[in-house]
Amino acid sequence: MMSKKIIGLCSISIVLLMACGKSDPYDTSKMDLKPTPAKISSERHTGAFAEGASLNMTNELKPVDNSPIKTVKLDTTHKIIEIAPGVRFGAWTFGDQVPGPTVRARVGDKIRFSMTNRSDEVLPGVQLTAAPMMHSMDFHAAMVSPQDKYRSVAPGQTIEFEFTVNYPGVFMYHCGTPMILEHIASGMYGAVIVEPKEGYPTKADREYMVIQSEFYLKPDPDGKKVDGQPLYVLDTENLKKAVPSYTVFNGQHNGMVKNPLAAKPGERVRLFVLNVGPSKTSSFHVVGTIFDRVWMEGNPDNQFRGMQTVLLGSSNSAIVEMMIPEAGKYIMVDHHFANASQGAIGLISTDASKKPSEDLEHHNMGATATPTDPMAIKGKQDFESKCLACHSIGQGKKLGPDLAGLTKRRNDAWITSWLLNPEKMLANDPDAKAMLKEYNNIPMPNQNLTNAEIQQYLKYFHWADTQPTGSASASGAH
């Protein structure tokens, strides 16, 4: 009788919702809306340009890290990226890659963010492109005063601030320094995934990040070249007219055609799709399947079922989940086909040989093949968190050399001495000196590794060199 009465009351009075136990999950009085003021200093970060256990450097997403405080370090750099084969572009970045790393957190977590504007650091080829300049960080996942937290900082300065993530979603982050349009179009964007406190209502076998963006390019007016290839710079005229030269997923023209996302028949794939624009709308579609669920803006409270396409304006996102029915290549496109023809295309393929995320969950790793020796596994994990910012294995050079074939060109004693004390090697060892010169006189920062850690790296490098070319690849680029 009592309960019947309460149900009756509930239906007639919204005021009594709380009494019926249906509290608003977005009750602002329970949110942390008083972050401490941002701090700006002239102390610079050194070493890797992106750091933090919650960061995902590739489009394969790791499960959310459990710490309630997510330390996120993303420095800004100016560097040359390759958008399509032979198309080198003078980009501006967060974390030295385009798009920037994906931050993954849970509602209620605190993001402890810091960023040094390192646009003044001389990276290979950078003198060719943009002079050092002001940059800033604007997190759509935050509820903070833009005038305090999103201030621009000068080259050499560091800004630090904290905020709590209150709403679940897939949120854009970007540089907010005027001309914002130019900073975004130059590559300064990425995503923050905020999971609901209790996780998602479904279980996915695979999770991937897909970021759509446009590039507006023209050949460098002075005809500059990088590695014999023409350098492209931002075409500010076409940018203002919203006439892109490339529209791409994860920073690469047709990138996920060459490197498809893996899934097996019968598996449920969860894509976190964000359109960063800056100026175009995405009509995201996957040929050959139907989105079982679409959570607009990445929030399961905003659910649609059985959708063919999801429409994303600039800075809109969605989580889309789909079943892969049978063996095949399922084509991700922007169904605005003019955009797809500019490179916004990729594949989910049942032929791509990658492990399901269950494995990733156990080992917390993002690359393709996996060693079996526990020391090599540890070495691989360390490599992915500490070294990927400057090195790849089999994906070409970054700030430092491609480490594929390392154990064939250097012996263990040399590698050990190098990792223990690169400064000493650079002072005394002729091979190290030659390498420094080749890498534009940027010395590798001492990584303060212990002997035990070095043994693990060695095990991993030896394992990687026994793998068929490409299958052990580790890369920070999306």
Closest to Cu ion by CB, 137 vs 333, is: 137
Task: Give kind and range of the element (H or E) at residue 454.
Answer: helix 451-466
Which of the stretches 20-28, 135-143, 251-259, 441-449 binds Cu ion when contact is defined by CB under 5 A?
A: 135-143
Number of other CB atoms surrounding residue 409 within 10 Å: 13
Backbone angles phi, psi at 140, to 5 degrees: -65, -15
Backbone angles phi, psi at 36, to 5 degrees: -70, 155
Among Cu ion, ligand HEC, none, what binds residue 175 when CB lies within 5 to 8 Å by partner kind? Cu ion
DSSP E strand boundaries for 118-241:
138-139, 158-164, 169-174, 189-195, 206-215, 217-219, 225-226, 229-234
Task: Give kind and range of the element (H or E) at residue 418.
Answer: helix 412-420
Closest to ligand HEC by CB, 304 vs 439, is: 439
Closest to Cu ion by CB, 188 vs 204, is: 188
Torsion of CA 14, 17, 23, 25, to 10 degrees: -30
Rounded least distance, CB 77 to ligand HEC, Å: 10
By CB under 5 A, what part of segment 163-182 binds Cu ion? 175, 177
Which of the stretches 106-114, 132-140, 315-323, 418-426 binds Cu ion when contact is defined by CB under 5 A?
A: 132-140
- In this structure, are strands 309-312 and 259-262 parallel, antiparallel, or unpaired? unpaired
Residues touching Cu ion: how many (CB under 5 A)? 5
Rounded least distance, CB 398 to ligand HEC, Å: 8
Among Cu ion, ligand HEC, none, what binds residue 135 when CB lies within 5 to 8 Å by partner kind? Cu ion
Among Cu ion, ligand HEC, none, what binds residue 177 when CB lies within 5 to 8 Å by partner kind? Cu ion
Closest to Cu ion by CB, 106 vs 183, is: 183
Torsion of CA 111, 64, 305, 166, to 10 degrees: -20
Residue for token digits 């890290």? 65
d(CA 216, CA 63): 34
285 binds Cu ion (CB under 5 A): no
Closest to ligand HEC by CB, 135 vs 410, is: 410
Among Cu ion, ligand HEC, none, what binds residue 344 when CB lies within 5 to 8 Å by partner kind? none
Which of the stretches 26-34, 81-89, 158-166, 188-196 binds Cu ion when contact is defined by CB under 5 A?
A: 188-196
Closest to ligand HEC by CB, 25 vs 400, is: 400
Closest to Cu ion by CB, 175 vs 387, is: 175
Instruction: Give the pair of three-digit tokens for residue 414.
Output: 């040399």
Strand partners, 102: 56
Closest to ligand HEC by CB, 46 vs 341, is: 46
Q: Are 87 and 73 in contact (CB under 8 A)?
A: no
Among Cu ion, ligand HEC, none, what binds residue 48 when CB lies within 5 to 8 Å by partner kind? ligand HEC
Q: Are 159 and 153 in contact (CB under 8 A)?
A: yes
Among 73, 106, 149, 183, binds Cu ion (CB under 5 A): 183
Among 79, 104, 118, 135, binds Cu ion (CB under 5 A): 135
Torsion of CA 283, 285, 290, 294, to 10 degrees: -50
d(CA 346, CA 333): 7
Rounded least distance, CB 380 to ligand HEC, Å: 11
Instruction: Give the pair of three-digit tokens for residue 332.
Output: 């991700």
Among ligand HEC, Cu ion, none, what binds residue 399 when CB lies within 5 to 8 Å by partner kind? ligand HEC
132: Cβ–Cβ under 8 A, 6 or more apart, which residues? 78, 117, 119, 120, 155
Give the binding site for ligand HEC (CB under 6 A). 47-48, 386-387, 389-391, 399-401, 403, 406, 410, 415, 418-419, 422, 435-436, 439, 442-445, 447, 457
d(CA 113, CA 261): 30
Residue nearest ligand HEC (C-beta atom): 400
Closest to Cu ion by CB, 92 vs 418, is: 92
